[in-house]
Amino acid sequence: MMHKCQKIFAGAIPFLLVVVLWRLGVPQWNPGGILAMIPIFYYSFIHPTPWFAPYAVLFCFLIDYKSDTVLYWTALYCGLYAANGFQNYIDLTRWDRGGLRAFSLFFSIAMFILFFAHPTMANLMRMAWITVWTCLLYMPIIALGRGRK
């Protein structure tokens, strides 16, 4: 019985991580719940989890809603999900360090594109801070869910 409960909880970890990180939205540290992109990216591309893609699209939409970016993160996620389908050229599951470089590249490009909505020096510094902060937290957040099997 206990083993079955542990298995159910281990399967729920990716879904719970997304909800918790999205709800912990704080303007300076987690604007719009953007840290939820870490488990969304990891459990969609690096360690694919069954039934996670529709859930990820929903939460990308909710991140867009909270941060007033009209379908921006949702479109980026869907575009990367489609590109990941061409695994002859892109195979994110085989990247080292849990996909840290892949996530850093994806997130940095996304923030750089988002910068052009309001190109000011203050916005550039804010985007740089969010990018560095999110990339620094990638490995600790992923380590929370790595114990599941």
pLDDT in tens, 75-102: 999 998 888 877 666 666 777 778 899 8
pLDDT in tens, 5-58: 878 877 888 899 999 999 988 888 899 899 999 999 999 988 888 899 999 999
Its pTM stands at 0.90
Residue-wise DSSP of the chain: -HHHHHHHHHHHHHHHHHHHHHHT--TTTSGGGGGGHHHHHIIIIIS--TTHHHHHHHHHHHHHHHHT-TTHHHHHHHHHHHHHT-TTT--GGG-SGGGHHHHHHHHHHHHHHHHTTS--HHHHHHHHHHHHHHHHHHHHHHHHHTT--
Contact 63, 34 (CB under 8 A): yes
Residues with Cβ within 8 Å of 49's Cβ and at least 6 positions away in sequence, in order, are 14, 43
Which tokens belong to 5?
């409960």
